[in-house]
Amino acid sequence: MNITLTTLSPEAGDLIIPVLQSDSLADQLAHLAPTLGVSAEVLQRDFKADAKEVLAVYGQNGQKIYLLGLGKDPQEMDWLRTFRKFFFDQKSKLPATLAIDLTTLEGSVVAGVVLGVRGGGYDLKLYQTDKPETPVFYTAAGALALQVNPDQQTVAQEALTRAEAIANTQLQMLDLMNAPANYKKPQTLADWAVASGNQFGYSVTVLDKAELERQKLGALLSVSQGSDVPPVLIIAEYKPEGVENPRKVGLVGKGVTFDTGGVSIKTSSNMHLMKSDMGGAAAVLGTVEVAAKLKLPIHVIGIVPSTENSTDGRSTKPGDVVTAYSGKTIEIIDTDAEGRVILADGLGYMVRNYQPDVLIDLATLTGSVIATLGYHAAGLFTPNDDLAAMLTKAANQTGERLWRLPVWDAYTEDIKSDVADIKNYSGKPVAGAISAAKFLEVFSEKHPAWAHLDIAGMAFSDTEFGSQKNATGFGIRLLIAYLQLILAGKE
């Protein structure tokens, strides 16, 4: 499906008119009534412009017109979700040609619209053998015209370019996250990164098990011991051409392709959802690809330690002590707190080999953060107020919300070990997300601009795509917005 901008009224196809719920709604509907061939009184009675409300009518020339409610003061995430649900619900009924009238709106809304339209075509039926045919609108024959005000065309084009770059990458990440463990191994993530780097012009290095052993990434290796599937460390580096001394941002993402909990095994009720435990990796790999697509003038390094956390006679046991890449020793109290263990090596490798100006890690790390924030925000942990402010601003722009939680030194007591430098789990039923952040802070090696994002409640959630929780692609839009804020600050 091809998306284009136009300043002309569409000549054919169905038409969508998004409507804001404002004080002037009655006047808007009265203005639309003649075009729709419906009295103003009927429109005002039957359509309130509530978020995701749809009213379909046939115009005077037989054209099908959809009024799509957006509620009050919609932000980018509201535009995205409204259009995604509309297109997901209606896609089998849509013709090949369609238009959306955005002439009365700011050009910036194009980003949320396009992300919603592209997302609405997502198919979760990855391995079903009796899948229906792809709706014609979502085939190569499909065409969407976004009608914008001429004064907004430049802003709209920038928003369209950004949204298209993000949307395609995000859909690939949804497929990776939704894939089961027998279709998705650490090498699968590495292969994706290599192919992406070749296509979009950034470098990718993959450290295999032998190289991990040679370079002594003992924390990552310890988690992988119980699996027949070898671990990898993926290093994806986008460096802009012709930019002198660009800011360097290091991103580290947890890439556990399946998590049984190891010897500290999880209960069976939701273990099948642990194919999602590479949400941090998806955010990092996706962000590097989008940065390269958009040719952002910023240096981005993504590191993904990736492994399965399985269990057999070789598995790391509670009480074992392992040595991380940094040389620090870790007492393993709980093998189900494996994400922070592999991130220890990811962070250490980033700091010692790349010295980024900013260091951010993302992980589906703790159930504790879900107990604290539910499924509406990720936890943000950083001692740096300026970094917290910029990440929060980016989160508010995209709607991928963050809420800052403390990393006070008082919590350091929770990760002290009697026999090693540090332990991976406090053993307490409280402040689990915070103690995990304090653990990771150690391996940031006192980096002055480090932040940890615990995205456990956000990377896999309830959506219209399926009856069980499935991937959201959380973090890519947030991180791209953050990178653009850095660039705006340099101008």
Give CA–CA dist 338/223, Å, rounded.
6
CATH of segment(s) 2-155: 3.40.220.10
| 357 is known to lie in a ligand binding site | no
Provide the strand spans (E) within 310-342.
321-323, 329-331
Active site residues: 266, 340
Residues whose CB falls within 8 Å of the CB of residue 395, separated by 6 or more in sequence, listed in order: 380, 401, 402, 478, 481
Residue 100 · residue 147 · CB < 8 Å: yes
pLDDT reported for residue 84: 98
Give CA–CA dist 479/381, Å, rounded.
15
* Residue pLDDT, tens place only, 139-180: 999 999 999 999 999 999 999 999 999 999 999 999 999 999
Residue 216 · residue 331 · CB < 8 Å: no
| 259 is known to lie in a ligand binding site | yes
Write the DSSP string, 381-418: E-S-HHHHHHHHHHHHHHT--EEE----GGGGGGG--S
The verdict on pTM exceeding 0.75 is yes
For residue 148, the SS3 value is coil
* Residue pLDDT, tens place only, 439-475: 999 999 999 999 999 999 999 999 999 999 999 999 9
| 254 is known to lie in a ligand binding site | yes
pLDDT reported for residue 59: 80
pLDDT reported for residue 490: 60
CATH architecture entry for 179-490: 3-Layer(aba) Sandwich (3.40)
Residues whose CB falls within 8 Å of the CB of residue 388, separated by 6 or more in sequence, listed in order: 380, 382, 404, 451
> Per-domain residue ranges for the chain?
2-155, 179-490
pLDDT reported for residue 491: 45
Residue 163 · residue 115 · CB < 8 Å: yes
* Residue pLDDT, tens place only, 24-69: 999 999 999 998 889 999 999 999 999 999 999 998 777 899 999 9
DSSP secondary structure letter of residue 10: P
| 277 is known to lie in a ligand binding site | yes
| 336 is known to lie in a ligand binding site | yes
